[in-house]
Amino acid sequence: HPYIYKITFATASESSALVIRPFSEKGTLKDLIYKAKPKDPFLKKYCNPKKIQGLELQQIKTYGRQILEVLKFLHEKGFPYGHLHSANVMLDGDTCKLLDLENSLLGLPSFYRSYFSQFRKIN
Domains and CATH numbers, the chain: 7-115 (1.10.510)
pLDDT of res. 119: 64
Residue ranges in 13-97 assigned as alpha helix (H): 29-33, 42-46, 57-76
CB 62 within 8 A of CB 32: no
pLDDT of res. 58: 94
Rounded to whole angstroms, what are the CA distances from 121 to 83, 112, 117? 21, 16, 9
CB 5 within 8 A of CB 91: no
Residues of the chain with pLDDT under 50: none
Rounded to whole angstroms, what are the CA distances from 88 to 108, 111, 122? 15, 11, 24
pLDDT of res. 10: 93
pLDDT of res. 71: 94
pLDDT of res. 115: 66
